[in-house]
Structure 1
Amino acid sequence: MVPTIFAPATAPGRGGVAIVRVSGPLAGTALTALTARPLPAPRMAAFVRMTVPESGEFLDQGLVLWFPAPHSFTGEDVAEFHVHGGRAVISGVIDALASLPGLRIAEPGEFSRRGFENGKFDLTAAEAIADLVDADTAAQRRQALRQMEGELGRLYDGWRHRLTRALAHLEADIDFPDEDLPEGVGVMVRPELETMAGEIASHLNDNRRGERLRDGIHIAILGAPNAGKSSLLNVLARREAAIVSERAGTTRDVVEVHLDLGGFPVVLADTAGLREAADEIESEGIRRALDRAANADLKLAVFDATALPELDAQTIAVVDDQTLVVLNKVDSASGGMIQQIVGQQTMPVSARTGEGLADLLQALTDAVRTRFEAPGVPALTRARHRGALEECAASLQRAMTADLPELAAEDVRLASRALGRITGRVDVEDLLDVIFRDFCIGK
């Protein structure tokens, strides 16, 4: 028999209300055992007194809900205890449930895994549930909700159904050559395969937008020593994240802070000053700064406005169309400002007085939104999806160039199977432990 599982469904610690969830064939038994009352009406909250089944010790009074299968999150019978959020209350309810035969504590992600196995949602939606729990910004929340509602799964299932039809035509051409079939049935599917290959290639060529939203958009602050990079980082982070000193070369390693920038998750990195290194430690810091510049989604190139019209050659070298150019220390500058550097408009600011910082924040927000805001098609969010889609695309390319219809059919079958692994339709048993083990307990 399928074991009945239970776990707190709310975060650990003290709170006003905590939820303990039970799922499995004995969920109803557990509910009646702790309340000494018949099951409440489905999906209707009931205010009850909860006690330890064996001793009758009073645990708490609160709400309980009953979700009979299959109309529940897991597709099984589910009971929920809504109790006061003190640690002792939660512990008492957990201990009482653990004392009942046939019940055990849930593994991380086990509730969601049961929902997937019982057909309540596909793997992309299950992964979106984990992303929604971890979402820190509005953009992450919107992306996770779109995926949880099935947008990504419907896109992949649509491609898979089209491949299934193409495969049926190819196999009919192979298996029934003497039947009265339209001439060249196998050749007729090639335009559909070409169209699908183009759609998948376009989906893959997204600058890893969805993955960036999940993990954070990387912005590197670059510039010469004493250009004010660390001061700028501290002002944008609104805390003293980096050491600020008049001594050149204070920053030797990359200093990161995480920001919510207009609803987008951003990892802002202060880097070592770009110059000829004085020692091997500074040389390593500069190497890391250049490496961060090469891998950043956006860059802030910071120039010292008090040094104008002189411009730092090492900083100029990192300016491109993914760069916002900042002229810092304008409050102390005596000369005129330069309007453009390497074709990029300059932004005068002062990290000390705050002058121009509102405009800089708005420009950064606009740049992030332009590059990463979701268009109509749902975005790829995980490396697992990308790998399967790349495998699918490679199989389609082979199918379109195959000399024999049997080879084309096999490659179309492999392409369909790769798509099925994303949503969990086929051959995913070995992936389930990996996917669900990072979920929180109780979800």
Structure 2
Amino acid sequence: MTEAPASHRPAAVRDSAPPTIAALASGRGRAGVAVIRVSGSRAGEAACALGAGRVLKTPRQARLVALRHPESGELLDHALVLWFPAPRSYTGEDVVEFHVHGGPAVIAAVLDALTALPGVRLAEPGEFTRRAFEHGRMDLAAAEGLLDLVAAETEAQRRQALAQTAGLLGARITGWQEQVLDAAARIEALLDFADEEIGDEDDIVAAVDTILARLGGQMASALADAARGRRIREGLKVVILGPPNAGKSTLLNALAAEDVAIVSPEPGTTRDAITVRLDLAGVVVAFVDTAGLRAAAGAVEEEGIRRAHRHAREADLALWLVPADEQEDIPPPPDMGERPLWHVRTKQDLVPDLPAGRQDAERFVISARTGAGMDALLSALGSWVEAVTAGPPALVTRRRQEDAVAEAREALAEARAQLAAGDWLLAAEALRRADAALGRITGRGGVEEMLDRLFAEFCIGK
């Protein structure tokens, strides 16, 4: 039996429900069409009030309606209106969508008319998605995936976020929890029915240990791939380093195809880091131009050099630039860490006898001014990006998820140790901790404060 529309439910039910919310669900700015979403127990009443009551008879079918102000009867717009009765809607509540013309005045007029109705207010950021989570339409990992999908800039980000939204992580977590509960049930049987014939204890302990060892291995694999997931989600970082006047800013401008950094023969021109974000091989790559590394000429330049070292420590790849006309190769500083470092000879146009291009796996000769050797460098960068991000969508993509999986894995290791020591009570307690840690990933317990932070990141109409 289908649930009755809000307008057909008892008033007491509607009055006890949360406020009905309305907001622009499509992008802001002028457009051919804008979508205004209304969700809550009074969504059906809102449709009726604006003259679209007939959509309640045909769920999920668009109807052309003349929207009118509920008090004055003034024509607001001609719109396509769709009705999604609970629970089969985005939020799990009654939802009505008004597909209106995308002019700011039209949007404002329709929203003003809606929020003037009793029990209807503007939605807060992320409130539609939070209600979807609270009504079981998606778990917390899927909600995080949706946030990433809305923010996706590249193809790799889109694919990864779409997999999360479709429940990639949530399904795996559910499977892990079922196995943890299976192991816990066997241990509880040993505790509660120790005096009864429930099977050989050694066989039960061995079976539980096998389950936990397999789970620990699966979690270890997910954690090993988490860095790749974060790289795709957050982007890679390539820092451009070198002595003053090595052509760092010229290279950045060439990569950006515009003048984003000041180029000057005066040493110390770049005092602070300048970042350009590019799409390479479907992945966001942030190129960071830094201050020339030398003995600083003043406090401001010294700070710029300090920041250059910090960016180098945080980078996924460092490009060490030295002008081709330098008589001797200038080595990079010794504190570059373990990240890959490529040597790039710049200003090849000043030494025309020196062939431009790739010399070996990590050495290049270029002229950012003439473009000589740039294709080889960009091709190598693209191949590097593909190498460090290749693979199916990562299971774990956020630090919060990674920490929870790591905590669960540690609890499983503790449970195995207690089993080996014969302490079944402590083993059962460790499994409860593992289950709780996994539950936090999908939003089952202990996440209220985190929910407030997460859903605040969404736009108002989502």
Which TM-score band applies after superposition, normalised by the shorter structure?
over 0.9
Deviation at 1:324, TM superposition (A): 2.7
> In structure 2, what is the equivalent of residue 405 of structure 1?
424
Deviation at 1:339, TM superposition (A): 9.6
Match of 1:312 among 305, 325, 330: 330
Match of 2:348 among 312, 320, 330: 330
Give, in whole Å, the separation in 1 of the partners of 2:88 and 2:239: 48
Q: 1:349 to 1:98 in 2, by over 3 A?
A: same
In the alignment, is residue 244 of structure 1 matched against residue 260 of structure 2?
Answer: no
Deviation per CA, 1:332-365: give whole Å up to 9, x if none.
Answer: 1155469999x85312211000112122112111
Give, in whole Å, the separation in 2 of the partners of 1:62 and 1:388: 46
Deviation per CA, 1:233-272: give whole Å up to 9, x if none.
Answer: 0110112111101111211221111112222111110011
In the alignment, is residue 392 of structure 1 matched against residue 411 of structure 2?
Answer: no
In the alignment, is residue 197 of structure 1 matched against residue 216 of structure 2?
Answer: yes
Match of 2:92 among 75, 85, 103: 75
Code of the residue aligned with 2:93 in structure 1: it is: E
> In structure 1, what is the equivalent of residue 12 of structure 2?
none
Code of the residue aligned with 2:142 in structure 1: it is: A
Deviation at 1:11, TM superposition (A): 2.0
Deviation per CA, 1:77-96: give whole Å up to 9, x if none.
Answer: 11000111111111110111
* Number of equivalenced pairs: 440
> In structure 1, what is the equivalent of residue 51 of structure 2?
35
Deviation at 1:23, TM superposition (A): 0.7
> In structure 2, what is the equivalent of residue 18 of structure 1?
34
Q: 1:152 to 1:347 in 2, by over 3 A?
A: same
Q: Secondary structure at the match of 2:50?
A: helix
Identity of aligned residues (%): 48
Deviation at 1:323, TM superposition (A): 2.2
Code of the residue aligned with 1:268 in structure 2: it is: F
Q: Secondary structure at the match of 1:331?
A: helix
- Conservation of the 8 A alpha-carbon contact between 1:209 and 1:379: no
> In structure 2, what is the equivalent of residue 297 of structure 1?
316
> In structure 1, what is the equivalent of residue 230 of structure 2?
211
> In structure 2, what is the equivalent of residue 114 of structure 1?
131
Match of 2:294 among 247, 256, 275: 275
> In structure 2, what is the equivalent of residue 429 of structure 1?
448
- Conservation of the 8 A alpha-carbon contact between 2:133 and 2:140: yes
Q: Secondary structure at the match of 1:31?
A: helix
Code of the residue aligned with 1:435 in structure 2: it is: L
Give, in whole Å, the separation in 2 of the partners of 1:428 and 1:278: 50
- Conservation of the 8 A alpha-carbon contact between 1:34 and 1:51: yes
Identify which range, 129-138 or 317-326, moves more after superposition.
317-326
Identify which range, 44-53 or 375-384, moves more after superposition.
375-384
Give, in whole Å, the separation in 2 of the partners of 1:333 and 1:317: 30
> In structure 2, what is the equivalent of residue 376 of structure 1?
392
Deviation per CA, 1:191-211: give whole Å up to 9, x if none.
Answer: 221222222122212362222
Identify which range, 195-204 or 293-302, moves more after superposition.
195-204
- Conservation of the 8 A alpha-carbon contact between 1:304 and 1:329: yes
Q: 1:153-168 alignment to 2 at 5 Å?
A: 153-168=170-185
> Over aligned residues, Cα RMSD in angstroms?
2.1
> In structure 1, what is the equivalent of residue 11 of structure 2?
none
Code of the residue aligned with 2:323 in structure 1: it is: D
In the alignment, is residue 150 of structure 1 matched against residue 194 of structure 2?
Answer: no
Give, in whole Å, the separation in 2 of the partners of 1:262 and 1:321: 20
Give, in whole Å, the separation in 2 of the partners of 1:216 and 1:345: 22
Match of 1:102 among 92, 99, 119: 119
Match of 1:139 among 142, 151, 156: 156
Q: 1:398 to 1:320 in 2, by over 3 A?
A: closer
Give, in whole Å, the separation in 2 of the partners of 1:319 and 1:430: 36
> In structure 1, what is the equivalent of residue 6 of structure 2?
none
- Conservation of the 8 A alpha-carbon contact between 1:242 and 1:255: yes
- Conservation of the 8 A alpha-carbon contact between 2:163 and 2:393: no
Q: Secondary structure at the match of 2:175?
A: helix
Identify which range, 180-189 or 95-104, moves more after superposition.
180-189
Q: 1:37 to 1:24 in 2, by over 3 A?
A: closer
Code of the residue aligned with 1:362 in structure 2: it is: S
> In structure 2, what is the equivalent of residue 44 of structure 1?
61
> In structure 2, what is the equivalent of residue 365 of structure 1?
382
Deviation per CA, 1:107-164: give whole Å up to 9, x if none.
Answer: 1111111111111111111111111111111111111101101111112221111111
Match of 2:370 among 332, 348, 353: 353
- Conservation of the 8 A alpha-carbon contact between 1:74 and 1:120: yes
Deviation at 1:320, TM superposition (A): 6.4
- Segments of structure 1 that go 5 or more residues without pairing to the other structure are none
Deviation per CA, 1:367-389: give whole Å up to 9, x if none.
Answer: 1111023x236232212112211
Give, in whole Å, the separation in 2 of the partners of 1:320 and 1:422: 31
Identify which range, 219-228 or 37-46, moves more after superposition.
37-46
Deviation at 1:318, TM superposition (A): 4.1
Q: 1:51 to 1:319 in 2, by over 3 A?
A: same
Code of the residue aligned with 2:303 in structure 1: it is: E
Q: 1:339 to 1:64 in 2, by over 3 A?
A: closer
Identify which range, 349-358 or 329-338, moves more after superposition.
329-338
> In structure 1, what is the equivalent of residue 4 of structure 2?
none
Give, in whole Å, the separation in 2 of the partners of 1:87 and 1:229: 44
Q: 1:311 to 1:340 in 2, by over 3 A?
A: farther
Q: 1:249 to 1:134 in 2, by over 3 A?
A: same
Code of the residue aligned with 1:199 in structure 2: it is: Q
Identify which range, 319-328 or 217-226, moves more after superposition.
319-328
> In structure 2, what is the equivalent of residue 223 of structure 1?
242
> In structure 1, what is the equivalent of residue 461 of structure 2?
442
Give, in whole Å, the separation in 2 of the partners of 1:281 and 1:36: 64
> In structure 2, what is the equivalent of residue 91 of structure 1?
108
Deviation at 1:440, TM superposition (A): 0.7
- Conservation of the 8 A alpha-carbon contact between 1:305 and 1:337: no
Give, in whole Å, the separation in 1 of the partners of 2:288 and 2:452: 34
- Conservation of the 8 A alpha-carbon contact between 2:25 and 2:461: yes
- Conservation of the 8 A alpha-carbon contact between 1:223 and 1:315: no
Code of the residue aligned with 2:130 in structure 1: it is: R
> In structure 1, what is the equivalent of residue 436 of structure 2?
417
Q: Secondary structure at the match of 1:313?
A: coil
- Conservation of the 8 A alpha-carbon contact between 1:186 and 1:405: no
Give, in whole Å, the separation in 2 of the partners of 1:169 and 1:238: 64
Deviation at 1:321, TM superposition (A): 6.2
